[in-house]
Amino acid sequence: MRVGILGTGSYLPEKVMTNDDLSKFVDTNDEWIRTRTGIRERRIAAENEATSDLAYKAAEKAIENAKIDKNEIDLVIVATMSPDHITPATAAIVQDKLGINAAAFDLSAACTGFVYAFTTGYSFVKSGIYKKVLVIGAETMSRILDWEDRTTCVLFGDGAGAVVLGQIENGGYIASHLVSDGSGAEDVIIPAGGSRNPVSKEEIDKREIYFKMKGSDVFKFAVRAFPETVENVLAQGNTTADDVDMFIPHQANIRIIESIAKRFKQPLDKFYVNLQRYGNTSGASIPLALDEANKEGKLKKGDKVVMVGFGGGLTYGSILLEWSI
């Protein structure tokens, strides 16, 4: 049995926040952000939009693209670090919005979340437990950012991407590689709000309820982890970087992507990049980029594709597949 992508979809909020918009209330400017990250603008969810709303709209488009009845979906997995609530799972809310009878759960692996969720969904189909799995990466990062912290708030945006996984005749999933290094847990963290450090007035006053990141440490980690996981998954698939037709990397920083292209001696145009328009959308970045590449006709049946994620946990991982739609 082969397992692959049957359809892709994505959704982006309408509101666009440019670097110049940010400079009106944060001590920063367009040139500073662009030269260090490559980001020019990002999308921001409307007041009445939560992560489940973005996820649901991306899911609808993926189901439509897969040309299946929504009731064929057996399982919904949502990869997110900005859920609607601590509980219930955002995936359960999406399942209800879709009006389907399916299992549903969230998966937390930050910016690597979609890679983890895709591998999990693949495993359920491969084992025969479920036939069609909806895998979604969705984030409303704007709700968990500290808009007074210019080191983080300039980097992130909101959005969602989704894929439907199922049985196919040829191509599809080839290999995956998932890694966690919890020794770097404090490098990407929301300090307060969990059982370790519950929300209190003191924690709110200290702004510990917001997303924190040690940017330079994460950059160094990404530059090390990215090639490690790509080399591993290519070796599993008996494939070389030259054989890969398209890399879909986590959209964090153009400097990271450029350094990896140079490391593997590959042209930059083999790396799909849309971070200039959307910023870092965490768990949504890879499925968003994948859907755009699909819609733009940049992927054709038989192409070798590598998806790569890295982020909080610390986590990182990659997937090698053969495009099948």
List, in order, residues 6 or more apart from 281 with CB less than 8 Å away. Answer: 42, 139, 141, 156, 157, 158, 159, 251, 288
Phi and psi dihedrals of 216, rounded to 5?
-65, -40
How many residues in the chain? 325
Q: Which residue in 19, 65, 253, 280 is the catalytic one?
A: 280
* Contact status, residue 252 vs residue 314, Cβ threshold 8 Å: no
* Contact status, residue 13 vs residue 54, Cβ threshold 8 Å: yes
Q: What letter represents residue 136's amino acid?
A: I
250 flagged as catalytic: yes
177 flagged as catalytic: no
User: Which value, in Å, is the radius of gyration of the alpha carbons in the chain?
Assistant: 19
Q: What letter represents residue 39's amino acid?
A: I
Q: Which residue in 177, 250, 253, 294 is the catalytic one?
A: 250
Integer Cα distance of 206 and 122 in angstroms: 42
294 flagged as catalytic: no
List, in order, residues 6 or more apart from 116 with CB less than 8 Å away. Answer: 79, 107, 109, 178, 309, 315, 317
Q: Which residue in 111, 153, 253, 294 is the catalytic one?
A: 111
* Torsion sign over Cα 12, 13, 16, 22: negative
* Torsion sign over Cα 187, 213, 226, 321: positive
Which residue is it, tokens 């940049």? Answer: 298
* Contact status, residue 286 vs residue 248, Cβ threshold 8 Å: yes
Q: Which two structure tokens, joined as six digits, stand for 80? A: 């997110």
Catalytic residues: 111, 250, 280
